[in-house]
A and B are shown apart, each in its own frame.
Chain A
Amino acid sequence: MVRQLIRVCAVVVLSFSASWAAADTIKVGVLHSLSGTMAISETTLKDTILMMVEEQNAAGGLLGKKLEAVVVDPASNWPLFAEKARELIEKEKVDVVFGCWTSVSRKSVLPVFEELNSLLFYPVQYEGEESSKNVFYTGAAPNQQAIPAVDYLMNEIGAERWVLAGTDYVYPRTTNKILEAYLKAKGVADKDIMINYTPFGHADWQSIVADIKKFGSAGKKTAVVSTINGDANVPFYKELGNQGLSAEDIPVIAFSVGEEELSGIDTGPLVGHLAAWNYFMSVDADVNDDFIDSWLAFIDDEDRVTNDPMEAHYIGFKMWVEAVKKAGTTDSSAVQDAIIGVAVPNLSGGLATMMPNHHITKPVLIGEIQDDGQFDTVWQTPGTVPGDAWSDFLPGSMDITADWQAPLSCGNYNVKSGACSGQNYE
């Protein structure tokens, strides 16, 4: 009996610890939810990386080896993200991971990447206030999206009253705090700023849209800055359209609505509402046209769109490839050193450079929604803007800076106290 039991145990244990020895491939981990609430956004990013891997292999692989993508499904479940990250790094022995969408999923996997000293490329615009040795933030920091957007509304549209509407989580909270500080610094009064938070997946927008309408009819030109996330956008825009708030009356500028989100909406009533991103599918550049063509061919569906996080993955992947070539190895520490300063073409015809704070340089584009579900660029920054990990508009992070080059090598360095804090490793 007991012996039988031990045998059973041994079998279980073996099946767990079975790990494949690293063969003649370089493994690329993909950590995006394929089921659950986030699947809607993340599945596309998984496909993007698969396409990039395929293209790289067609171009002869990397360091003489083939790339192999390892896909897992963290199922929109945050603890599962940490578990799957560990599985990818420890069990599958991947050399790099492309993944995560929400901030909480990134926070969940962060300790794992730092402990096991691996690499994560994070492709989504986020709230900043973080710079890890092991994470490369290829999405926009608040200064690469929110601030230019508000400048545009203020200068070009003449907005004087502001509604900051967001989903209640850390990205909108931070962005709105930064914007509030910024607006006040520009002389906007307290009573001209309305802040509103709603839960995830909020579906009944009647009262809030009516409130916005009321707020907007009180005298000055009003604009809405929306950090409303994912699923809640469709009912929000539908309600806006039906209650007759057109973009000419009260323009809404969104930071989380891209081509992919629009593909689930009938955009007729939304024409003229805005979004701020670092890339639009409609950008007029040859490299973008090529990217779109290969994407449509890869996914084999003429109706699919491209969006900003895909561009971020495109840039991140190219940067990683360049850094590996430069370092001559896929070793994490070597790549971390090599990647700083690497510049690759972005999809809007410029160059993206990896900064010492692990953020990249990006142009900021303001686009208006068209009735074909695309954006039309109405304004853009003259050059690229380097990502700022620690916002200058928040009292807690004003004095903090990140620089992963020697001699500082710190993601959280307080220039006043000279202390490097918040690091998980020695």
Chain B
Amino acid sequence: MINLKTLVVLAVVVITSASTAAFGDDFDSAVNELNTRSFDDKLEAASRLATMDHERVDVVLQALIDGKLYKKKGDDTVVVVVSLEGGGYQLTDAASGEDLGKVGRRGAKKISVNNKLRRQLKGLFASRQLNVDDPDARIAAVQAIINAGDVSLREILLERREVEPVEDVQDAIDVAIVVFDLDSKDQAIKLAAIKASAYNLDSNVRVKLTAIVSDQSLDQQLRDAAISSLANIEELVERYQWIETLFFGLSLGSILVLAAIGLSITFGVMGVINMAHGELIMLGAYTTYVVQTLFPYALEYSLLIAIPAAFIVSGLVGIAIERGVIRFLYGRPLETLLATFGVSLILQQAVRSIFSPLNRAVATPEWMSGSLEIVQGLSITYNRLYIFFFALLVFAALLTILQRTRLGLEVRAVTQNRAMAQAMGIRNTRVDILTFGLGAGIAGVAGVALSQLTNVGPNLGQGYIVDSFMVVVFGGVGNLWGTLVAGLSLGVVNKVLEPAAGAVVAKILVLIFIILFIQKRPRGLFPQKGRAVES
């Protein structure tokens, strides 16, 4: 008995080791076959790899997807590379994992992957990820399998469904199987799948349903079911679209508010027409870039560092402008426009000389990329969501400063009556410096937010200056609430008009609306009251 048992164990061991050896050869040759020009051959080799149990399969597939799989020049070894600082690569043999040292920029050539192949590879890779411990990773893998659309993976999904313990993952797999079943040859399965996907907003489902509807060769019953499912989906999409448009508008509005709110202080409270406001925003954006360059390893926190840094940089430049130029011009508001226009030219060219005229790449931290899926088919991008709340936060902070602090009290006093304020012992000069510094600093903070949405280049500021003035004037000069309401409402109006009229016409209409509105209410939405207004 014992003998027999030992024999069986022995046999199993022998067979396993033999098959491992065979697998090993097979693995090496599959890896080598990845090095071919034809994308189809690459897929074939990768598919073989995906079924193997070798420990380096995941590494190789991942490297191929990430574009890190190269061939070494000279002997054509397939290698995994790590780019080195200052050009060149660190090479690792793809099959064995052996360190092959460093080569220069020309020492290795990439094994290229195109979109189609990458999508299929992601599916293959995902099929190997179905058994990982993290349920979220499993759901992501299921989604990748749906996207890859590789029917051969359906069986793997079914197998996993049997043993899957987590309910969310089970649901995801069920949906995926329904999507695969839409392609089924079996009428009954197909019909059930069509009916099951009536409220499924996954774009793959819509693609398949539309294909079914337009396929004349199919049974009428199937096509009718597909039509009604599609109609349900369309209705749902329509409904979400309104919510989406509203959010788009609020997001655009919050950007306008951020850009304008600093101006609302310097322009509204101090009466300075600061044409360099846009450039102060630009400085904030460049500060973000500098922070990211200085701390390349703290990318996730770079924005948190950049916000105070930008506030200080722009604030100090603002104070320099106030001390150097504007203080000579109090009481001549229109001339501050000319002088600050000159300053804006200087700042632009300075940035161009220091950072080159090229745009700078500002990276988006992980927590700000992608979008938040509220329900399927309705998602909101994280960066805009954060910026929206950030705008509200900045607004609240400013409001608190102006309403609740000593500085705010003094600022309001100086705004209402300069001479009287001075007579009461308020040091006008100090208030001027701090107010302008505050307005400029807020512009810098706005720049940090904008760096996440648009180009960081010397012309960044110019794009926002005209809009900012419109928002402040529309809201009523000197009124923070006015700026908030004006910014958000202009944003929403713009976005509501945009689908029908197009981006340009929507903007023109908004401008015309502002012009006419000002005729009706010459001092904006929330006019400032008091004698100071007339002077």
A contact residues vs B (CB 8 Å cutoff): 34-37, 39-40, 43-44, 156-157, 168, 197-199, 201-204, 206-208, 210-211, 213-214, 216-221, 231, 234-235, 238-239, 241-244, 247-249, 251, 260-261, 263-266, 268-269, 271-272, 274, 284, 289, 302, 368, 370-373, 376-378
A247–B358 CA distance with the chains assembled, in angstroms: 26
Is B359 a contact of A234 with CB atoms below 8 Å? Answer: yes
A305 nearest in chain B by CB position: B358
**In the complex, how many angstroms separate the beta carbon of A333 from the nearest chain B beta carbon?**
36
Is A35 a contact of B352 with CB atoms below 8 Å? Answer: yes
Complex partner residue of B358 from A202, A218, A264, A289, CB under 8 angstroms:
A264
A216–B310 CA distance with the chains assembled, in angstroms: 40
Is B203 a contact of A249 with CB atoms below 8 Å? Answer: yes
B contact residues vs A (CB 8 Å cutoff): 66-67, 83, 86-87, 106, 109-110, 112-116, 118-119, 122, 147, 203, 206-207, 209-211, 214, 237, 241, 244-245, 248, 251-252, 255, 349, 352, 356-364, 369-371, 379, 381-384, 452-459, 463, 495, 498-499, 502-504, 507
Pair count A-B, CB < 8 A: 164
A268–B66 CA distance with the chains assembled, in angstroms: 10
B496 nearest in chain A by CB position: A207
- Decide yes or no: A203 and B453 within 8 Å by CB, A35-B352, A242-B381, A244-B379 being known contacts: yes
List A contacts of B364 (CB < 8 A): 238, 266
Is B248 a contact of A207 with CB atoms below 8 Å? Answer: yes
- Decide yes or no: A248 and B211 within 8 Å by CB, A206-B251, A242-B381, A264-B457 being known contacts: no
List A contacts of B499 (CB < 8 A): 207, 211
List A contacts of B453 (CB < 8 A): 203, 235, 238
- Decide yes or no: A220 and B455 within 8 Å by CB, A201-B463, A260-B358 being known contacts: no
A218–B499 CA distance with the chains assembled, in angstroms: 18
List B contacts of A199 (CB < 8 A): 503-504, 507
A214 nearest in chain B by CB position: B237
**In the complex, how many angstroms separate the beta carbon of B468 from the nearest chain A beta carbon?**
13
List B contacts of A284 (CB < 8 A): 109
Closest 8 CB pairs of A and B: A264-B359, A219-B210, A217-B203, A242-B381, A248-B119, A39-B357, A206-B248, A266-B363
Is A210 a contact of B248 with CB atoms below 8 Å? Answer: yes
Is B463 a contact of A264 with CB atoms below 8 Å? Answer: no
B205 nearest in chain A by CB position: A217
Is A204 a contact of B357 with CB atoms below 8 Å? Answer: no
**In the complex, how many angstroms separate the beta carbon of B42 from the nearest chain A beta carbon?**
12
A211 nearest in chain B by CB position: B499
B209 nearest in chain A by CB position: A219
Q: Could you list 8 further interchain pairs (A-B, Cβ under 8 angstroms) beyond the known A206-B248, A264-B457, A376-B110? A: A35-B349, A156-B114, A242-B383, A248-B118, A251-B115, A260-B358, A265-B361, A284-B109
- Decide yes or no: A203 and B463 within 8 Å by CB, A219-B211, A243-B371 being known contacts: yes
Complex partner residue of A234 from B116, B210, B255, B454, CB under 8 angstroms:
B454
Question: Could you show 20 A-B contacts with beta carbons less than 8 Å apart?
Answer: A39-B357, A40-B358, A43-B358, A199-B503, A203-B453, A203-B463, A210-B241, A217-B206, A219-B209, A235-B454, A235-B455, A239-B381, A241-B369, A242-B381, A242-B383, A264-B360, A268-B363, A271-B67, A272-B114, A377-B112
**In the complex, how many angstroms separate the beta carbon of B48 from the nearest chain A beta carbon?**
22
List B contacts of A202 (CB < 8 A): 503
Complex partner residue of B115 from A238, A265, A272, CB under 8 angstroms:
A272
List B contacts of A244 (CB < 8 A): 370-371, 379
List B contacts of A247 (CB < 8 A): 115, 118
List A contacts of B248 (CB < 8 A): 204, 206-207, 210
- Decide yes or no: A43 and B498 within 8 Å by CB, A248-B115, A266-B363 being known contacts: no
List B contacts of A156 (CB < 8 A): 114, 116
List B contacts of A208 (CB < 8 A): 503
**In the complex, how many angstroms separate the beta carbon of A260 from the nearest chain B beta carbon?**
7
A44–B363 CA distance with the chains assembled, in angstroms: 23
List B contacts of A263 (CB < 8 A): 358-359, 361
A286 nearest in chain B by CB position: B106
A197–B501 CA distance with the chains assembled, in angstroms: 12
Is A206 a contact of B116 with CB atoms below 8 Å? Answer: no
Complex partner residue of A40 from B241, B359, B371, CB under 8 angstroms:
B359
List A contacts of B109 (CB < 8 A): 284
List B contacts of A40 (CB < 8 A): 357-359, 457-459
B244 nearest in chain A by CB position: A210
List A contacts of B245 (CB < 8 A): 207
**In the complex, how many angstroms separate the beta carbon of A21 from the nearest chain B beta carbon?**
33
Is A242 a contact of B252 with CB atoms below 8 Å? Answer: no
A371–B81 CA distance with the chains assembled, in angstroms: 14
List A contacts of B110 (CB < 8 A): 370, 376
